Amino acid sequence: MNFFLNFIFIFYIGSTAGWVLELFYRRIAHGKWVNPGFLIGPYLPIYGFGLCALTGIYLIFAKFNLPGIIIILLMGLTMTLIELIGGLTFVNKPVKLWDYSDRWGNYKGIICPLFSLIWTVIGALYYYFLAGFILEKIEWFNNNLSFSFVLGFFAGLIVIDFVYSTKMLSKLKKYAKDNNIEVRYEEFKCHIKDVQQKRKEKYSFIFSFKPSMDLKDYLKNYKKAIKKSHRNWCDFF
């Protein structure tokens, strides 16, 4: 039972920390506050799984006294594998949650050498600077299991969010397919924000896509914007 709770706890830390990291990356690199990721809440599950994997690798392979460089490379490879699995599951036409098609050596626009290098650097940061902190937090959690009620709420919230977001994604895919448009998910979020600001409408940071939205109208404008700007106006990847 403790193993499962520890997994959820690490997943919680990784998901929320990853969301904050991606949020500020978008703000600094592109000057836009855009809710990152597929879900609407402040968490990115791929980072949660990533942190669980990094912690597992550290705990298992550190016991064998392997050289740090080997463990770090294994961490980078594992993070790339997680990205590949996530990409094969969610990154497909006509809607792409991320797209590395323009990157050298990419595979189906899902993974590429540059981001594999970035994951390896993150693995090195974890190995040398974060592992001790994470293990301390796990020990704290095991001594304060009442916090598991918070994790239960978090898990329930993610499940509800996933159902809602999947429904909206399916709707977006249908509209995109009917209108013969390839949509970059977060680029489309940027487009909605820009259009609503021009129209002086209230933009929702959390609910970028609402059931009441006329997605066809936004998709038509999005298609025109792509042709006009050649995707330079909000290219996250």
What is the tens place of the pLDDT at every residue in 163-208? 988 888 888 888 888 877 888 888 888 888 888 888 877 777 777 7
User: Domain for residue 234, yes or no?
Assistant: no
DSSP state, 63? Answer: G
- pLDDT value at residue 184: 85
| 1 pLDDT higher than 70 | no
Domain that holds residue 76: 2-229
**3-state DSSP call for residue 191?**
helix
Query: Domains in the chain: how many in total?
Result: 1
Instruction: Indicate the residue type of 65.
Output: N
What is the tens place of the pLDDT at every residue in 207-217? 777 656 677 78
User: Domain for residue 45, yes or no?
Assistant: yes
| 236 pLDDT higher than 70 | no
DSSP per-residue codes, 72-137: HHHHHHHHHHHHHHHHHHH-BTTEES---TTSTT-BTTTB-HHHHHHHHHHHHHIIIIIHHHHHHH
User: Domain for residue 236, yes or no?
Assistant: no
Q: What average pLDDT score do residues 16-26 get?
A: 92
User: Domain for residue 114, yes or no?
Assistant: yes
What is the tens place of the pLDDT at every residue in 23-81? 998 888 778 788 888 899 999 999 999 999 999 999 998 788 889 999 999 999 999 99
User: Domain for residue 43, yes or no?
Assistant: yes
User: Domain for residue 104, yes or no?
Assistant: yes
- pLDDT value at residue 192: 85
User: Domain for residue 62, yes or no?
Assistant: yes
Phi, psi (rounded to 5 degrees) for 65: 55, 40
